[in-house]
Amino acid sequence: MSLKQWGAILTGCAALLLTACTVVDLDENGKPIMPADPNAKASFDNLTPQQIAQQTWQERVMDAAQKHALDANTLATQMKNSSTTPQSVFVRLTSQIERVDTSNDREQQLVVTVNGQPLTIQLGPVVRGNAIRDATGFKFEDFTNQVQFAQLSRAYNREAVKLLPKVDASWVGKPATVLMAVTISGGKADDAVALTLKQEAQ
C-alpha cells in the first residue's frame, strides 16, 4: 500500500474519531461541564431541610397528592385494614366542618367527620408528625445526611401552613374540600395536616 493510501486511511480514521467525540462546554475556569447523569439519585448532601422542602414541594407533595389522593371511602377501608405499622397517605375529601379550634394560636385545628368518625386536621402554624414527608415516599436511606431526613418533616409542615387560608368560627357548619396528608395506624388516622383547604358553596 502506498504512502498516499495510508495517509487517506489515517485521515478518515481521524475524521471518524472527531465525529464520535462529544463537544463538552467549559465553565468559567476552563474546566469541562459534565452533563448530569439522568439515572443518578438526587443528591441533597449540601442542602438544608428547608431547601429540600422548597425544591421538592411541587413535585413530591402537591403533584403527588393531586394524583394519588384517596377518597373518604378508601381512607375508611385503609383504616379498617391498617396494621400497627404507621402508613402515611394523601387524602382528598369534602365534608362539613364540625368544629374549629383557634384557642391555641400555635396549634389551630378543624374537625370533620369521615364515615361517622371525627378527624382532626392541623392548620398550624405548629404541625406535629411526619405525615407529609412519609406520604411523599421519601425513605431514611434516600439521605446520606440523616439529620436532613429527620428535619424534613418540620420543613414540609412549615411549607404546608404557608398556603392555607385563615380559618375561623364562621367556617363551622359549612362544607369544605381539604387535600391533606394523614398517618394511619391501628385503625386510627392521626397527624392529619391540610395541604389545601377550600370552602364550598352550600
Q: Which of 81, 59, 88 is CA-nearest to residue 153?
A: 88
Query: Could you tell me where the DSSP H helices lie in the chain?
Result: 3-20, 49-56, 64-68, 72-80, 131-135, 146-162
Asked if residue 142 belongs to a domain, the reply is: yes
Distance CA 84, CA 39 (A): 35
Q: Are 89 and 135 in contact (CB under 8 A)?
A: yes
Distance CA 162, CA 166 (A): 10
Asked if residue 185 belongs to a domain, the reply is: yes
Asked if residue 127 belongs to a domain, the reply is: yes
Query: Looking at the predicted structure, is the pLDDT value of residue 84 above 60?
Result: yes
* pLDDT score at 61: 97
Asked if residue 183 belongs to a domain, the reply is: yes
- CATH number of domain containing 70: 2.40.50
Mean pLDDT of 45-66: 93
Residue 184 CB-density burial (10 A; 0-12 exposed, 13-18 middle, 19+ buried): buried
* pLDDT score at 79: 87
The model's pLDDT over 114-167, given as tens digits with 9 standing for 90+, comes to 888 899 999 999 999 999 999 999 988 888 788 889 899 999 999 999 989 999
Number of structural domains the chain divides into: 1
Query: Looking at the predicted structure, is the pLDDT value of residue 4 above 90?
Result: no
Asked if residue 150 belongs to a domain, the reply is: yes
Mean pLDDT of 95-108: 93
Asked if residue 1 belongs to a domain, the reply is: no
| Full residue range of the structural domain in which residue 70 is found | 49-199
Angle value at C-alpha 74, between 114 and 101, nearest 5 degrees: 25
Query: Looking at the predicted structure, is the pLDDT value of residue 38 above 50?
Result: no
Name the residue with cell 378543624.
110
Q: Which of 182, 135, 132 is CA-nearest to residue 153?
A: 132
Question: Is the C-alpha dihedral spanning 21, 26, 32, 33 positive or negative?
Answer: negative
* pLDDT score at 20: 46
Grade residue 80 by pLDDT with cuts at 50, 70 and 90: confident
Asked if residue 26 belongs to a domain, the reply is: no
The model's pLDDT over 184-197, given as tens digits with 9 standing for 90+, comes to 998 889 999 999 99
Asked if residue 15 belongs to a domain, the reply is: no
